[in-house]
Structure 1
Amino acid sequence: MTQLLHIDSSVLGPNSVSRQVSAAIVGRFRQVTPGLEVTYRDVAAEPLSHLSGTHVAIAYGAPVEDPTVKAEVAAGQAALEEFLAADIVVIGAPMYNFSIPSQLKAWIDRIAVRGKTFSYGPNGPQGLAGGKRVIIAVSRGGHYGADTPMATFEHLETYLRSVFSFIGVTDLEFIAADGVQIGAEQREQALANALQTAGGLAA
């Protein structure tokens, strides 16, 4: 049975472009993947706590006494286990202030774990999470391509490419809806193009 993990991070609810595109991607996989099992996590509606010094200390063996911290550690462990179990990961990632939402960063901090998804050896870091297919639905208010004046402000796709490469993911795909804040016509066209791409994904 193929396991798919679906992550959404937009704070805009039904008005979110990235949520519409990520849902279309998952819908496409339901069509083309027999026996698909989907796990859904909305990190905007139910955010993971941001890392603290206490969390780091616990990772190095410090005892856990505070019930709130125990719950936070358990939630982080559950997020990691969901990711490790997934064959396919679909992420809705809108650009906020030139990068990813802080809620998505908190999730990444729970899956980028030494000894679980990466390790350090004599030849440097080694990714341990290879073999997964990761598709990211991106929405950006403007245009940030390499040939645009805003190219140096793009820290969403560049960051996600870096972090997933670091943990060993080489099968990484982006479906982008760009310029969604330029105007209603541009938003509609960008969304339509992204949905069409999502609908044509191969198994």
Structure 2
Amino acid sequence: MGNILHIDSSPRGDRSNSRKLAKEFIAAWQEQHPDDVISYRDLRQTPVPHVTEDWIVACFTPPEALTSEMTELLKFSDELVDEFLAADRCVFSVPMYNFSIPSNFKGYIDQVIRVGRTFTEEDGQVKGLANGKKVLFITSRGVEYGAGSPYEGWDCQEPALRYAFQFMGVTDIEFIHANGLDMGDEVRKRALDKAQSEIQELVNSW
């Protein structure tokens, strides 16, 4: 029995393409793995606070030296980290906003990259602690970013996500991109069909 963490980050509700695609993935996965436990979090409903100077101080304070105020500051972060570390697989739906990721998912990343929890430093080298899990990002994008596109090289989304989770020790990272959703009905349909096909392939092999 596996433990799947599913997080949606789009501010949109039913209009969100990334949410719809992630929902399709989870439904297809559950058909094949009915005993797996799905933990779900919607960042639209439970916004993630930005870090503050006091939070940073608490974050880098040894556990035995934490005050009650510091412990309270880290409470939500600890909840997110515990949830992340408990999962065997993570499915994150993340739309592209202005060539990168929504601020709420950046806030999530800032809350889960925690010294002593998801990474540590040994002899001046960073070592990730979130090893052995699989992470899937399902994204939605308004335009194309591949070779020959006017926006080639503008994709700051996939590198940011990949490096943040690699920093925490995750090496098995997959992306399913729905590209060009604002480029007309034909391109949109082709992009969604491709993403749905990739979803089914990954469900069968992940």
TM beyond 0.5: yes
Match of 1:74 in 2: 75
Counterparts of residues 32-111 of structure 1 (less than 5 Å): 32-59=32-59, 60=61, 61=65, 63-65=67-69, 70=72, 73-111=74-112
What's the secondary structure of 2:153's corresponding residue? helix
Task: Give the alignment's TM-score, normalised by structure 1.
Answer: 0.91
Contact 1:130/1:168 (CA < 8 Å) preserved in 2?
A: yes
Q: Is the 8 A contact 1:49 1:106 kept in 2?
A: yes
Match of 2:198 in 1: 197
Deviations 1:145-200 (A, max 9, x none): 24433122111001111111111111100011000111222222211211121122
Give the residue type in structure 1 aligned to 2:136. I
What SS is found at the alignment partner of 2:74? helix
The answer to whether the Cα contact below 8 Å between 1:10 and 1:93 also exists between their aligned partners in 2 is yes
**1:126 & 1:65 partners in 2: Cα distance?**
28
Aligned alpha-carbon RMSD (Å): 1.8
Percent of aligned pairs with the same amino acid: 37
Match of 1:127 in 2: 128
For residues 109 and 32 of structure 1, the distance between their equivalents in structure 2, rounded to whole angstroms, comes to 33
How far off is 1:102 after superposition?
Answer: 0.5
SS in 2 for 1:153: coil
CA distance 1:54–1:154, shift in 2 (3 Å): same
Give secondary structure in 1 for the equivalent of 2:97.
Answer: coil
Unaligned runs of 5+ in 1: none
Partners of 1:58 and 1:64 within 8 A in 2:
no
State whether structure 2 residue 113 is matched by structure 1 residue 112: yes
1:62: Cα distance to partner? Answer: 5.6
Give how far 1:26 is off: 1.3
Per-residue deviation at 1:116?
Answer: 1.2
Cα distance, 1:44 vs. partner? Answer: 2.0
Instruction: Report the count of equivalent residues.
Output: 200
Task: State how far apart, in whole Å, the 1-side matches of 2:154 and 2:116 are.
Answer: 33
Q: Distance in 2 between matches of 1:65 and 1:173?
A: 38
- Per the alignment, residue 188 of structure 1 pairs with 189
**Secondary structure at 2:6's aligned position in 1?**
strand
Out of 79-88 and 24-33, give the one that drifted further. 24-33
Partner letter of residue 6 of structure 1? Answer: H
> 1:25-51 CA distances to partner (integer Å, 9 max, x unpaired)?
212221222410000011122111011
Aligned AA for 2:14? P
Match of 2:9 in 1: 9
Match of 1:153 in 2: 154
Q: Output the amino acid matched with 1:102.
A: S
Aligned partner of 2:16: which letter?
A: S
The equivalent residue for 2:179 is: 178
Under a length normalisation based on structure 2, what TM-score does the superposition of the two structures give?
A: 0.90
What is the distance in 2 between the residues matched to 1:73 and 1:189? 44
